[in-house]
Amino acid sequence: MNQSDTQAPSSPANTPEEPALTVSASPSPSTATLNPAAQAKHAMGWLHTARFLTTAAQLHHLPAYELPEIAFVGRSNAGKSTCINVLTQQKRLAYASKTPGRTQHINLFALGRQGQTDAVLADLPGYGYAAVPKQDKIRWQQVMANYLLTRENLRAVVLLCDPRHGLTDLDDILLDVIRPRVEEGLKFLVLLTKADKLNRTEGAKALSIAKLQAGGGQVQLFSALKKQGVDEVATLLYEWMHP
Ligand SMILES: Nc1nc2c(ncn2[C@@H]2O[C@H](COP(=O)(O)OP(=O)(O)OP(=O)(O)O)[C@@H](O)[C@H]2O)c(=O)[nH]1
Ligand SMILES: [Mg+2]
């Protein structure tokens, strides 16, 4: 198993598994001048370089570096880990499961060609799972809020939401937490996951409701099953990390 989906590791997980987190000396170019298909292909190649970096149960166990980080957040079972696996085209990079609450640590994955890391994906545990004891829920909400407020190298947040449930109270709290950072330039995307469960009309409706709720932020329908929205999200993440 290449990451922890169980309880806290016995030793602090702050030692990256790769030798060094070198910021790319010759940063990957912007693909803004390419056509959309070529942009997506380039972005998917970049995402495919993802490899497990480290796992942390607590914020102070996260390694500090200047690499831009993209956090995947959202309710438990929304499809965060599955989304990371589809984007990176790796079946079991992030631990996805039918059982809600499977991701219990912050798991980091390094991205970049030729061993030169130029960004990091962070798979976060979901919130809102009813069966989690109240104390644990509160603790995790605090960890999450602290992560979103204090993680200095955080450049982008992808909020995953099952459109059949819509954005919930906890999602709204998260939006409030990150709003000041979005105003300062933090990139933000709402992904409506499991779009394969909606017909075209329902999808369009879910999209417009989420756009309203996200206060004009970017919203995208996504299906890991049907690979819907994958190219668009990949291209967006690449452009965010290589402006
Ligand atoms: N139909 C369908 N099911 C999906 C899709 N994406 C994820 N799922 C399923 O939803 C369940 C939860 O997926 P995960 O990726 O583990 O969800 P998560 O958000 O990481 O969950 P936690 O780690 O508990 O926070 C799994 O059974 C997935 O197979 C999708 O696009 N379509
Ligand atoms: Mg998960």
Q: Could you give the CA distance from residue 55 to residue 104 in angstroms, rounded to a whole number?
A: 10
Q: What percent of the chain has pLDDT over 70?
A: 87
Measured in Å, residue 90 CA sits from the centre of ligand 2 at 15
134 vs 191: which has the higher pLDDT: 191
Q: What is the pLDDT of residue 96?
A: 84
For the CA of 223, the closest atom of ligand 1 is 31
If you take atom 9 of ligand 1, which residue's CA is the nearest one? 79
Burial of 12 (0-12, 13-18, 19+ CB in 10 A): middle
Q: What is the pLDDT of residue 151?
A: 96
> What are 91-145's pLDDT values in tens digits?
999 988 887 766 778 999 999 976 689 999 999 988 888 777 888 888 888 888 8
Measured in Å, residue 147 CA sits from the centre of ligand 2 at 17
pTM of the model: 0.89
> What are 147-158's pLDDT values in tens digits?
999 999 999 999
110 vs 34: which has the higher pLDDT: 110
Q: What is the pLDDT of residue 24?
A: 53
151 vs 8: which has the higher pLDDT: 151
Which residue carries 């490899």 as its tokens? 51
Q: What is the pLDDT of residue 27?
A: 58
Measured in Å, residue 33 CA sits from the centre of ligand 2 at 35
106 vs 7: which has the higher pLDDT: 106
Domains of the chain and any CATH numbers: 53-241 (3.40.50.300)
Please give the structure tokens belonging to residue 162: 């099952």
Closest to 195 measured CA to CA, from 160, 171, 168: 160
Q: Which of 75, 97, 168, 202 to mutate to test the pocket of ligand 1 (most atoms within 8 A of CB)?
A: 97
If you take atom 11 of ligand 1, which residue's CA is the nearest one? 98
In this predicted structure, the answer to whether residue 81 has a pLDDT above a threshold of 50 is: yes
Q: Is 77 in the pocket of ligand 1 (CB under 6 A)?
A: yes
Q: What is the pLDDT of residue 9?
A: 37
Q: Is 4 in the pocket of ligand 1 (CB under 6 A)?
A: no
Asked if 109 and 224 touch (Cβ cutoff 8 Å), the reply is no
115 vs 89: which has the higher pLDDT: 89
Q: What is the pLDDT of residue 15?
A: 43
Asked if 75 and 171 touch (Cβ cutoff 8 Å), the reply is yes
Q: What is the pLDDT of residue 136?
A: 81
Q: What is the pLDDT of residue 70?
A: 98
Average pLDDT, the chain: 86
Q: Is 225 in the pocket of ligand 1 (CB under 6 A)?
A: yes
Q: What is the pLDDT of residue 141?
A: 83
